[in-house]
Structure 1
Amino acid sequence: MTDDVWLPIAADEIDGLPDPSATGSRKGLNYLYWNGGPDYPGDPADCVFYAVPYMKPSGIVVPPLAAMTSVCVVQTLSAGIDHVQPGLGSLRPGVQLCNARGVHEASTAELTLALILASLRGIPGFVRGQDKEEWRGGFYPALADKSVLIVGYGSIGAAIEDRLAPFECARVARVARSGRATARGEVRALTDLPALLPEADVVIVSTPLTEQTKGLVNASFLARMRDGALLVNVARGPVVDTKALLAEVESGRITAALDVTDPEPLPPGHPLWHAPGVLISPHVGGSTSAFMPRAKRLLAGQLTRFAAGEPVRNVVLTTG
């Protein structure tokens, strides 16, 4: 039996991985490349560290978990863990599930600001106008002086606020599962949303997908949003009730910018494609040139700690 490590990036492309032959708390790591192909790189029972292939569906990344009887760490390269959760019940107790905190903050926050600015300043209309050789001048909304509400104030939510700072927003409010104090100000609990939604011009959703957040942005949530407000979803598609959102945008009462949708990918002919006031990007919040160097640094750091018997980081749950 070997201490296999399944990596979705070839080991020789990752600087800083521990030497496979080095002695320590483990007898040596055997790096195997697997990025979701039809053939496994080795016996799943020998895998002690499983780095989950990025942007692959549950149907691909979950099946090997049931046979990973020796696994100690399951490491996603995504901020969310919802795609691996269906397989966690098959794991032995004590397996640590880690997310990719530190990998996606810069890219996702960058896209969030791009979606807000594009939506407010009318960029999609300008592009359509350019295609038709039409000069579409006039006054458009600015981000300056707007009140912004961030729903889901983890590391990505904080990174979004970092990038909002230069835009002279009138106010930034923060909401998370539970309230707390931060250096930037108070983070309110989800239970405070009904009072906060009517005060926001821009509502950014960056919460993880859980049983508690699925359908969080429902008809009641949307009805409490201010007339003319912009909803931005960079979380997961099922956090938003698509039917309820369509009713609001089709009425023209609010607008939306969506990097994620439900269903996803959005199929041809779906009404969201042509709904008024809706800007859609194809779930590209984290998939930029910034992803690979940060993902490699995360894997090298986690495996260095793992090989040395030190605690790994970004643990979001332990099976049991």
Structure 2
Amino acid sequence: MTTARPPRAVFALDPVHLPLLFPPALTARLRAAASFDPQAVVRDFADPAAVEALAGTEVLITGWGCPRIDADALDAAPRLRAVLHTAGSVRALAGDAVWERGIAVSSAAAANALPVAEYTLAVILLTGKDAFAGRDRYRLGHALPRPAETAALGNAGRRVGVVGASRVGRRLLELLRPHDVEVLLHDPYVDTAEAAALSATGMPLEELLLHSDLVTLHAPHVPATHHLLDRERLALIRDGGVLVNTGRGGLVDQAALTDELVSGRLSAVLDVTDPEPLPAGSPLYTLPNVFLTPHLAGALGNELERLGRATVEELERLAAGRPLAHRVRPEDLSRIA
């Protein structure tokens, strides 16, 4: 969109996130690239004040807490040309009418991929040392482990199976390169040559599960990947193997995984579950072979500024008439988060 004047932008998100997304320096860049009222934050597209604000809106800056953008919302914003999302997935945000009307949609998913990949790398290395269970044993007053008790531990030559060459998966592959691990990769859209270029060995999912010491999930949760790891596929992971899920809980059959973990055959690091959170009585909260965290791998705290910066850069491109760098296209929705 090329225009002789700054485009009119409106925020549509939970305002609690604004100070971390757009600290003063980024707010100044926003002001230079667009015309907007920082106090006008839309939470309900049907609200009369929102309808008034949307009438002249050309760019919608969205984020966590934004209501779904449906046909009624778009009817209230006849000049809308772009939605710039300060978070990752736009699947739940953008209704069919957004794509049908040709509105440009951009996501900060690439910026959010880094903290998820960093978190995943950290837990890969820590589980190789059995750090979480070791901490618990040490708390109970156990002596330092004997060499025979740690003979099977360590990360040297460990086989890490990465499921999904998504943005997060690719960032993780980059972070794994300096480490002395063997990386296996499954992604139906990545052939053997591209997997090799990513410093991984490409293979079918079942083969990856059979040969990995640790399996980490980075595929999108779409109908084709729902319960991607079902009871039969979970059974392929070797005894003592580790499952890491920082993607979506629906990628795994939760009941089947719970059975495997209760039996003690597998260990898991789970930042996401299905449902989320788990019911209060779930054994996963207290199992010694489960490290459960409350969906914190993605950007939080000072990491949100990265998402805001990515959005400001997109707005600057838009205002200058340049193509968006992180545009999401409707044909991508079947294979992205």
TM-score normalised according to structure 1 size? 0.82
**Structure 1, unaligned runs of 5 or more:** 23-27
- Contact 2:163–2:187 (8 Å) recurs in 1: yes
**Could you say what secondary structure the match of 2:295 adopts?**
coil
Check if 1:101 corresponds to 2:106: no
Contact persistence 2:183–2:199 (CA under 8 A): no
Q: Of 177, 188, 195, which aligns to 1:165?
A: 177
8 A contact 2:213–2:238 mirrored in 1: yes
Paired residue type of 1:88: G
Measure, in 1, the Cα distance between the counterparts of 2:229 and 2:158: 21
CA distance 1:81–1:37, change in 2 (3 Å): closer
User: How big is the shift at 1:277?
Assistant: 1.5
Which amino acid is 2:88 matched to?
Answer: A
Aligned to 1:25: none
Runs of at least 5 residues in structure 2 that lack an aligned partner in the other structure:
1-6, 332-337
| Aligned with residue 67 of structure 2, among 46, 61, 80 | 61
Which range moves more in the overlay, 201-210 or 90-99? 90-99
Letter in 2 for 1:67: A
**Structure 1 residues 185 and 127, CA gap change in structure 2 (3 angstroms):** closer
Per-residue deviation, 1:237: 1.2
Q: Distance in 2 between matches of 1:301 and 1:318?
A: 22
State the 1:80 CA deviation. Answer: 2.8
> Given that residues 7 and 33 in structure 1 are in contact (C-alpha distance below 8 angstroms), is that contact kept between their aligned partners in structure 2?
no
Give the structure with the higher percent helix: 2
| Equivalent residue number for residue 184 of structure 1 | 198
Matched, 1:221 2:233: yes
Mapping 1:30-179, distance limit 5 Å: 30-32=36-38, 37=43, 42-43=50-51, 44-54=54-64, 56=65, 61-62=67-68, 66-69=72-75, 70=78, 71-84=80-93, 87-91=94-98, 92-135=100-143, 137-138=145-146, 139-140=149-150, 141-169=153-181, 171-179=182-190
Choose which of 9, 12, 34 in structure 2 pairs with 1:4: 9
Equivalent residues of 2:245, 2:269 under 8 A apart: yes
* Equivalent in 224, 240, 250 of residue 252 of structure 2: 240
CA shift in 2, pair 1:220/1:75, >3 Å: farther
- Secondary structure of 1:231's counterpart equals strand
Instruction: Please tell me the residue identity of whatever aligns with 1:257.
Output: V
| Greater Cα offset, 160-169 or 119-128 | 119-128
Within a 5 Å distance, the mapping from 1:211-290 to structure 2 comes to 211-290=223-302
CA change 1:109–1:240 in 2 (3 A) is same
Query: Contact 1:231 / 1:256 at 8 angstroms: preserved in 2?
Result: yes
Partner SS, residue 173 of structure 1:
strand
Q: Say whether the 8 Å CA contact 1:50–1:75 is kept in structure 2.
A: yes
- Counterpart position of 1:311: 323
Displacement, 1:33?
A: 5.2
Identity over aligned pairs, percent:
25
SS for the counterpart of 2:322 is coil
| One-letter identity of the residue aligned with 1:89 | D
DSSP-derived class of the 2:223 partner: coil
Runs of 4+ in 1 over 4 A off after TM superposition: 31-41
CA drift at 1:168: 0.8
Contact 1:242-1:262 within 8 A present in 2 as well: yes
Matched length: 303
Tell me if structure 2 keeps the 8 A contact 1:45–1:67. no
* Deviations, residues 12-71 of structure 1 (Å, cap 9, x unaligned): 732563546x7xxxxx632445777569673244433223223x4xxx532677413333
- 1:152 Cα shift? 1.1
Q: Is residue 228 of structure 2 the alignment partner of residue 209 of structure 1?
A: no
Equivalents in 2 of 1:272, 1:65: separation in Å?
42
Q: Is the 8 A contact 2:112 2:298 kept in 1?
A: yes
Q: Distance in 2 between matches of 1:127 and 1:312?
A: 47
The letter for the 1-side match of 2:117 is A
Change in Cα spacing, 1:167 to 1:264, as seen in structure 2 (3 Å) is: same
Letter matched to residue 115 of structure 2: S
Q: Map Cα deviations across residues 245-299 of structure 1 (whole Å, 9 max, x no partner).
A: 1122222222111111111123322232234521111111123445223112111
Question: Take 2:92 and 2:59, find their aligned partners in 1: how far apart are those partners?
Answer: 17
Structure 2 CA distance for partners of 1:304 and 1:215, relative to 1, 3 Å: same
| Contact 1:36–1:53 (8 Å) recurs in 2 | no
3-state SS in 1 of match to 2:29: coil
Shift of 1:202: 0.9
2:302 equivalent to 1:294 = no
- 2:335 match: none
8 A contact 2:186–2:208 mirrored in 1 = no
